[in-house]
Structure 1
Amino acid sequence: MTKQEIISLAKKACKNTLMETLEIEFVDAGEDYMIAKMPVTPRVHQPDGVLHGGASVALAESVGSMASYVFLNTEDFFIRGIEISANHLKSVKEGYVFARASFIHKGRTTQLWEIRITDEAENLISLVKLTTISLPKERK
């Protein structure tokens, strides 16, 4: 699958979902990574005007799960996130944040992702670890 096909597939999958609500946009993909961006606006702020950690985690899980969906056999399996942990290192008030999901482990059943969330100046905002699982689809 080409980069454009991957991004197009991801964009189509986001219709009427949390990703669309948070304005998450998939912008790049390679053999073993995927990148999405999200605008930092009052929609994703916590009360004191900075990016909410929950929005960062939603961005991270969205890009990691989408990467699993794109890079694994989803004809026979569906993907679910089963564990996520995040360290928030720096705050952001405006602009965009970018989440890059890269494989740490690509197993048949479980996958481990490192997701680095950075700002436009490439400062590390959050470091997230996501575990996904591939579960067999029921045959009809």
Structure 2
Amino acid sequence: MDFSLLNFDTPLELLNQAMQNSLVGNLGIEVTKIENGLVEGFLQLSEKNNRPGGMLHGGANLALAETLAGLGSMLIVGLQENEVLGTNVSGSHTGVLKQGKALAEARIIHQGNKTHIWNVDVRSEEGRLISTVRVTNMIVKRND
């Protein structure tokens, strides 16, 4: 898939398939909803994303958040003329996940010409907050 052609009408199946041979696929991250300013997704707890002891690794939470926020910024600005670079990811882990899925909702809270700031909440399937993450993306013009 040519990510420079990515848009809000890109089928989720195609998008998820295109990310399988990357960190996103290796961790088991799947995107379930894309809208302007909102991206949702999940990851299933597995041996690929847990820490010793079987609970979800905090870094996997951060990767999930940065993936969804980055994708959201890419969709907003378009990748034919712009590149999206994550410049800051800061998370607070408020709970643990020992089974099931981590469900994440990324919402844009600042949409500037050069930066986007996203808030991403990661919850258990029961709705318990596991992590809250702030992601800042820088928007730069392509020089290709």
TM-score normalised over the length of structure 1: 0.91
Residue 5 of structure 1 aligns to a residue whose secondary structure is coil
The CA deviation at 1:10 is 3.1
Q: Is the contact between residue 6 and residue 29 of structure 1 (CA under 8 Å) also seen in structure 2?
A: no
Look up the match of 1:92.
97
Match of 1:136 among 132, 136, 141: 141
Query: How far apart are the structure 2 equivalents of 1:34 and 1:10?
Result: 13
Q: Does 1:121 align with 2:126?
A: yes
Q: Aligned letter for 1:136?
A: K
What does residue 4 of structure 2 align with?
none
Runs of 4+ in 1 over 3 A off after TM superposition: none
Distance 2:93 2:11 in 1: 28
* Contact 1:85/1:128 (8 A) holds in 2: yes
Corresponding residue of 2:111: 106
Q: One-letter code of the match for 2:131? A: S
Q: CA deviation at 1:47?
A: 1.0
Aligned-residue RMSD, C-alpha: 1.6
Q: Structure 1: 5+ residue runs without aligned partners?
A: none
Alignment size in residue pairs: 138
Q: Which runs of 5+ in 2 are unaligned?
A: 1-6
Q: Secondary structure at the match of 1:47?
A: coil
Counterpart of 1:121 in 2: which secondary structure?
coil
Measured in 2, the distance between the counterparts of 1:122 and 1:114 equals: 17
